[in-house]
Amino acid sequence: MSVKPIRILGIDPGSRVTGFGVIDVYGREHQYVASGCIKTPPAAPLPERIAVITRHLNEVVRLYRPVQAAVEQVFVNVNPAATLMLGQARGAALAALVMHDLPVFEYTALQVKQAVVGKGKAAKEQVQHMVVQMLALSGTPQSDAADGLAVALTHALRNHSLAAQLQQGGLNVKRGRFQP
Protein backbone atom coordinates (compact mmCIF):
# COMPACT_ATOMS: atom_id res chain seq x y z
CA MET A 1 0.00 0.00 0.00
CA SER A 2 2.60 2.52 -1.05
CA VAL A 3 0.04 4.45 -3.17
CA LYS A 4 -1.36 7.57 -1.53
CA PRO A 5 -4.94 6.68 -0.55
CA ILE A 6 -8.07 8.54 -1.58
CA ARG A 7 -10.20 9.13 1.49
CA ILE A 8 -13.96 8.94 0.86
CA LEU A 9 -16.76 9.98 3.20
CA GLY A 10 -20.05 8.16 2.57
CA ILE A 11 -23.32 9.53 3.93
CA ASP A 12 -26.74 7.90 4.31
CA PRO A 13 -29.02 10.82 5.19
CA GLY A 14 -32.13 10.41 7.31
CA SER A 15 -34.47 12.66 9.24
CA ARG A 16 -33.78 10.81 12.51
CA VAL A 17 -30.41 9.17 11.88
CA THR A 18 -27.65 10.16 9.46
CA GLY A 19 -25.13 7.36 8.95
CA PHE A 20 -21.57 8.03 7.87
CA GLY A 21 -18.55 5.95 6.93
CA VAL A 22 -14.99 6.88 6.03
CA ILE A 23 -12.76 4.61 3.95
CA ASP A 24 -9.33 4.87 2.34
CA VAL A 25 -9.06 3.64 -1.24
CA TYR A 26 -5.74 2.36 -2.57
CA GLY A 27 -6.43 1.51 -6.19
CA ARG A 28 -8.70 -1.57 -5.87
CA GLU A 29 -8.06 -1.99 -2.14
CA HIS A 30 -10.23 -0.41 0.56
CA GLN A 31 -9.49 0.18 4.20
CA TYR A 32 -11.88 1.12 6.99
CA VAL A 33 -11.16 4.42 8.71
CA ALA A 34 -14.25 5.32 10.75
CA SER A 35 -18.03 5.12 10.84
CA GLY A 36 -20.91 6.16 13.02
CA CYS A 37 -24.35 7.69 13.11
CA ILE A 38 -25.67 11.10 13.99
CA LYS A 39 -28.97 10.93 15.86
CA THR A 40 -31.18 14.00 15.99
CA PRO A 41 -33.46 14.69 18.97
CA PRO A 42 -36.92 13.96 17.44
CA ALA A 43 -38.80 16.32 19.75
CA ALA A 44 -36.46 19.28 19.19
CA PRO A 45 -37.40 22.18 16.87
CA LEU A 46 -36.21 21.73 13.29
CA PRO A 47 -33.36 24.30 13.40
CA GLU A 48 -31.92 22.41 16.38
CA ARG A 49 -32.09 19.09 14.53
CA ILE A 50 -30.46 20.69 11.47
CA ALA A 51 -27.73 22.08 13.75
CA VAL A 52 -26.99 18.60 15.16
CA ILE A 53 -26.53 17.13 11.66
CA THR A 54 -24.49 20.07 10.37
CA ARG A 55 -22.14 20.36 13.35
CA HIS A 56 -21.47 16.65 13.63
CA LEU A 57 -20.72 16.28 9.91
CA ASN A 58 -18.53 19.35 10.16
CA GLU A 59 -16.58 17.60 12.92
CA VAL A 60 -16.30 14.39 10.89
CA VAL A 61 -14.88 16.30 7.90
CA ARG A 62 -12.44 18.25 10.07
CA LEU A 63 -11.27 15.15 11.88
CA TYR A 64 -10.88 12.72 8.96
CA ARG A 65 -10.26 15.16 6.08
CA PRO A 66 -11.89 13.17 3.23
CA VAL A 67 -11.21 14.40 -0.31
CA GLN A 68 -14.49 13.20 -1.81
CA ALA A 69 -17.99 12.56 -0.50
CA ALA A 70 -20.66 10.14 -1.68
CA VAL A 71 -24.25 10.68 -0.55
CA GLU A 72 -27.14 8.27 -0.92
CA GLN A 73 -30.16 9.61 -2.74
CA VAL A 74 -33.38 9.45 -0.77
CA PHE A 75 -36.83 8.37 -1.81
CA VAL A 76 -40.01 10.36 -1.64
CA ASN A 77 -42.20 9.04 1.12
CA VAL A 78 -45.94 8.35 0.96
CA ASN A 79 -46.21 10.99 3.69
CA PRO A 80 -45.43 14.42 2.16
CA ALA A 81 -44.46 15.90 5.55
CA ALA A 82 -41.94 13.08 6.06
CA THR A 83 -40.58 13.71 2.54
CA LEU A 84 -40.12 17.39 3.37
CA MET A 85 -38.37 16.54 6.65
CA LEU A 86 -36.08 14.01 4.97
CA GLY A 87 -35.28 16.56 2.27
CA GLN A 88 -34.33 19.14 4.89
CA ALA A 89 -32.04 16.69 6.70
CA ARG A 90 -30.37 15.70 3.43
CA GLY A 91 -30.01 19.34 2.35
CA ALA A 92 -28.29 20.12 5.65
CA ALA A 93 -25.89 17.19 5.19
CA LEU A 94 -25.06 18.31 1.63
CA ALA A 95 -24.55 21.89 2.83
CA ALA A 96 -22.08 20.72 5.50
CA LEU A 97 -20.10 18.87 2.81
CA VAL A 98 -20.06 21.56 0.13
CA MET A 99 -19.06 24.17 2.72
CA HIS A 100 -15.76 22.30 2.94
CA ASP A 101 -15.50 22.38 -0.88
CA LEU A 102 -15.82 18.59 -0.94
CA PRO A 103 -16.82 17.20 -4.35
CA VAL A 104 -20.11 15.36 -3.74
CA PHE A 105 -21.32 12.34 -5.73
CA GLU A 106 -24.83 10.93 -5.48
CA TYR A 107 -25.89 7.29 -5.67
CA THR A 108 -29.33 5.71 -5.45
CA ALA A 109 -30.02 2.90 -2.95
CA LEU A 110 -30.28 0.60 -5.97
CA GLN A 111 -26.79 1.56 -7.16
CA VAL A 112 -25.39 1.02 -3.64
CA LYS A 113 -26.95 -2.45 -3.34
CA GLN A 114 -25.85 -3.42 -6.83
CA ALA A 115 -22.28 -2.25 -6.20
CA VAL A 116 -21.90 -3.78 -2.74
CA VAL A 117 -24.10 -6.90 -2.81
CA GLY A 118 -24.34 -7.44 -6.57
CA LYS A 119 -28.12 -7.17 -6.77
CA GLY A 120 -30.52 -4.25 -6.38
CA LYS A 121 -33.02 -6.06 -4.18
CA ALA A 122 -30.62 -6.93 -1.35
CA ALA A 123 -31.82 -6.77 2.28
CA LYS A 124 -30.25 -4.40 4.81
CA GLU A 125 -28.50 -7.36 6.50
CA GLN A 126 -26.84 -8.36 3.22
CA VAL A 127 -25.44 -4.82 2.84
CA GLN A 128 -24.11 -4.98 6.43
CA HIS A 129 -22.62 -8.42 5.77
CA MET A 130 -20.83 -7.33 2.58
CA VAL A 131 -19.50 -4.16 4.23
CA VAL A 132 -17.99 -6.35 6.99
CA GLN A 133 -16.45 -8.65 4.36
CA MET A 134 -15.13 -5.95 2.04
CA LEU A 135 -13.52 -3.95 4.83
CA ALA A 136 -12.46 -7.01 6.89
CA LEU A 137 -14.19 -5.64 9.98
CA SER A 138 -14.03 -7.54 13.27
CA GLY A 139 -17.64 -6.61 14.16
CA THR A 140 -20.85 -5.58 12.40
CA PRO A 141 -21.40 -1.82 12.30
CA GLN A 142 -24.77 -0.35 13.21
CA SER A 143 -27.17 -0.39 10.22
CA ASP A 144 -26.98 3.36 9.34
CA ALA A 145 -23.19 3.43 9.80
CA ALA A 146 -22.97 0.37 7.52
CA ASP A 147 -25.05 2.24 4.91
CA GLY A 148 -22.62 5.17 5.15
CA LEU A 149 -19.71 2.79 4.54
CA ALA A 150 -21.66 1.09 1.72
CA VAL A 151 -22.18 4.33 -0.21
CA ALA A 152 -18.46 5.19 0.23
CA LEU A 153 -17.59 1.70 -1.10
CA THR A 154 -20.02 2.20 -4.00
CA HIS A 155 -18.21 5.36 -5.02
CA ALA A 156 -14.86 3.53 -4.82
CA LEU A 157 -16.09 0.46 -6.75
CA ARG A 158 -17.69 2.49 -9.51
CA ASN A 159 -14.50 4.47 -10.00
CA HIS A 160 -11.69 1.95 -10.03
CA SER A 161 -9.33 4.21 -11.86
CA LEU A 162 -9.91 6.94 -9.26
CA ALA A 163 -6.34 7.13 -8.02
CA ALA A 164 -4.82 7.09 -11.49
CA GLN A 165 -7.16 9.84 -12.67
CA LEU A 166 -6.56 11.99 -9.62
CA GLN A 167 -2.81 11.62 -10.00
CA GLN A 168 -3.06 12.71 -13.63
CA GLY A 169 -4.90 15.75 -12.32
CA GLY A 170 -7.33 15.67 -15.24
CA LEU A 171 -10.49 14.71 -13.38
CA ASN A 172 -13.66 15.10 -15.39
CA VAL A 173 -16.80 14.68 -13.34
CA LYS A 174 -20.30 14.22 -14.69
CA ARG A 175 -23.50 13.12 -12.92
CA GLY A 176 -21.69 11.53 -9.98
CA ARG A 177 -19.51 9.28 -12.09
CA PHE A 178 -16.02 9.78 -13.30
CA GLN A 179 -15.82 9.98 -17.07
CA PRO A 180 -12.64 8.62 -18.64
Q: Which residue numbers belong to the known binding site for Mg(2+)?
A: 12, 72, 144
CB of 9 to its own copies, least distance (A): 13
CB of 180 to its own copies, least distance (A): 19
Which helix (H) or strand (E) covers residue 173, if one does?
A: strand 173-174
Closest CB to its own copies among 51 and 117?
51
x/- map, 103-132, its own copies, by CB under 8 A: xx-x--------------------------
Task: For residue 31, give Cα distances in angstroms to 21, 140, 143.
Answer: 11, 15, 19
**117-134 burial code (b ≥16 CB/10 A, e <16):** beeeebeeeebbbbbbeb
How far is 160 from 28, CA to CA, in rounded Å? Answer: 6
CB of 83 to its own copies, least distance (A): 5
Residues 39, 16 contacting (CB under 8 angstroms): yes
Q: Is 72 a catalytic residue?
A: yes
Sole window of 1-9, 98-106, 123-131, 156-164 interacting with its own copies (rule: CB under 8 A): 98-106
**Which residues are identified as catalytic?**
12, 72, 144
